Structure 1
């Protein structure tokens, strides 16, 4: 019989929460990727969505990752080293780099002071000369998560929606 890993269990919880909100027509799922990397024996699950109401200009991507070391630790029953990393990438189709301090303080009001935040403004020019600007905010945590944090994933999805709602107000 298949024994699901911490990654599998957290992926099911996260995916279920997001798909329930999609079924309720609160959000729209834009992309989903489930990767088993056989070269380094890692797993990654990414799911990207936007709010369905309004113009839905902002999106968020959840990334759940389990390295080969984390997976091996779980197989050895060494649960202090077993777990997953989770990261969110928020994207807005405009340059908000001038509002970096306000953005960070707004995000920390929602997510707490311990969240690690980084920013990037990406400009891509097409062959026809059209430039597309995208402002990205990366949220990471300085710890792994495991099944003990499964119920926190529901709150994280709610916090993510709150985050994409506040920044377009700039």
Structure 2
């Protein structure tokens, strides 16, 4: 038997915490993807959810964890220098439909900065068909932490789920205005 890597341990904890919240009725899991890239020896896990009562195609949150070959080898080789790479990347993102208005983009940014902090990289990407003159567009807002997450920080990831839910609630309120 082998010792699971940080990626596997973090994935199991995240998945369990999110599905526990789904079973309790707090959220609804709407998608899950689990990839292994054998060409690059990397792994990626995504799980998406929304709040119960929200329209999933209008507002949702997603947590992504990723580990590459350098992360896996750092754990397997167990050298002192490699320990700093023995973790995984975690990203949080939100997908929402809203009025195509610059003020809405600014408000989304403000909501996410207030919850996640100004030291986080928050990138918004608008998705639209330029040939259609629609008043509503889709935005993907990604919160990046620009560092690896290690097994010792697993409890912080549960707290991140709380922040994701709070973000959904604040974004829903913003979109309702």
- What is the TM-score normalised by the length of structure 1? 0.90
Moved more, 148-157 or 87-96: 87-96
8 A contact 1:97–1:121 mirrored in 2: no
- What is the TM-score normalised by the length of structure 2? 0.86
> Unaligned 5+ residue runs, structure 2?
none
Describe the SS at the equivalent of 2:83. coil
**1:1-170 alignment, distance < 5 Å:** 1-56=1-56, 57-77=58-78, 78-95=82-99, 98=102, 99-124=104-129, 133-170=137-174
8 A contact 1:26–1:53 mirrored in 2: no
Residue 169 of structure 1, CA deviation: 2.3
Higher percent of residues as helix: 2
Cα distance between partner residues in 2 of 1:96 and 1:144: 34
Change (3 A) 1:96 1:153: farther
Alignment size in residue pairs = 167
Runs of 4+ in 1 over 4 A off after TM superposition: 129-132
> Unaligned 5+ residue runs, structure 1?
none
Cα distance between partner residues in 1 of 2:2 and 2:133: 50
Describe the SS at the equivalent of 2:73. helix
8 A contact 2:45–2:64 mirrored in 1: yes
